[in-house]
Chain A
Amino acid sequence: QQPVQSPQAVILREGEDAVINCSSSKALYSVHWYRQKHGEAPVFLMILLKGGEQKGHDKISASFNEKKQQSSLYLTASQLSYSGTYFCGTEPLSGNTGKLIFGQGTTLQVKP
């Protein structure tokens, strides 16, 4: 029941772009994105709500296609500081507790 993230890992050079996908088998109300740097706590990046919105945060943006139950995280002109593991957390449309179901994570490594 965990959402499936792809790819599992990606290696980039500085300045390159990457896309991380998150796909759920359940109807979703929202999708959260978090980044965890090595040895640190996961940190919230953004939330996308039902309605098919797209959000941006500096050079990191995301989209949410509620019909396909999919979200994508776009990292453009990647910087060394983008390295880490990215998790999507999904909130099902049914149920109203605020619990999230997290994907297995995508490890991103940006090299100079």
Chain B
Amino acid sequence: DVKVTQSSRYLVKRTGEKVFLECVQDMDHENMFWYRQDPGLGLRLIYFSYDVKMKEKGDIPEGYSVSREKKERFSLILESASTNQTSMYLCASSLFSLVRPRNNEQFFGPGTRLTVL
């Protein structure tokens, strides 16, 4: 059974703290993604990685950074957490192929609900 796991389901942090969200996939996928989910705004891409040590900014990267040292693990870092980063964070992974057509179905983790006080 394919899986994407996230380190915490719920997290409460204080303003200014450094926060690490971890994501691990067991499908040997090249692509990994971090999304933020807010009511009425859908899923917004924060960062994307298509290979180890490779990353690309998404639509809302401000205030976030990422790390991908191993293929199966993709970390989201909030350098100095702020209250407007209170949200649900979803990690996803997919296969990578430059050839179309391709199956780039995304597999999602259960999410981490982060509250910044």
Interface set of A (CB-CB < 8 Å, partner B): 1-2, 5, 8, 29, 32, 34, 40-44, 47, 49, 87, 89, 91, 96-105
Chain B interface, number of residues (Cβ within 8 angstroms): 33
A-B contact pairs, 8 of them (CB 8 A): A34-B106, A89-B106, A97-B50, A98-B50, A98-B96, A102-B42, A102-B44, A105-B40
Determine if B103 is an interface residue (Cβ-Cβ < 8 Å): yes
Q: With A29-B100, A97-B56, A98-B94 in contact, is A104–B41 under 8 Å at CB?
A: yes
Contact B98 A99 (CB under 8 A): no
Contacts of B44 in A (CB 8 A): 2, 102
Determine if B45 is an interface residue (Cβ-Cβ < 8 Å): yes
User: Closest chain A residue to B103 by CB distance?
Assistant: A47
Which residue from A8, A97, A100 sits with its C-beta under 8 Å from B106? A100
Contact A104 B48 (CB under 8 A): no
- Per the 8 Å Cβ criterion, residues 68-117 of B in contact with A are 90, 94-98, 100-111
Which residue from B4, B41, B102 sits with its C-beta under 8 Å from A98? B102
Contacts of A41 in B (CB 8 A): 4, 90, 108-111
Contact A99 B43 (CB under 8 A): no
Contact A43 B56 (CB under 8 A): no
B115 CB to nearest chain A CB (Å):
16
Bound CA–CA A66/B77 (angstroms): 38
Contacts of A97 in B (CB 8 A): 31, 48, 50, 56, 96
Contacts of A99 in B (CB 8 A): 33, 45, 48, 56, 58
Contact B42 A32 (CB under 8 A): no
A2 CB to nearest chain B CB (Å):
7
Contact B105 A32 (CB under 8 A): yes
Contacts of A47 in B (CB 8 A): 103-105
B81 CB to nearest chain A CB (Å):
23
Bound CA–CA A4/B106 (angstroms): 20
Contacts of B96 in A (CB 8 A): 97-98
Contacts of A91 in B (CB 8 A): 104
B52 CB to nearest chain A CB (Å):
16
Bound CA–CA A87/B58 (angstroms): 18
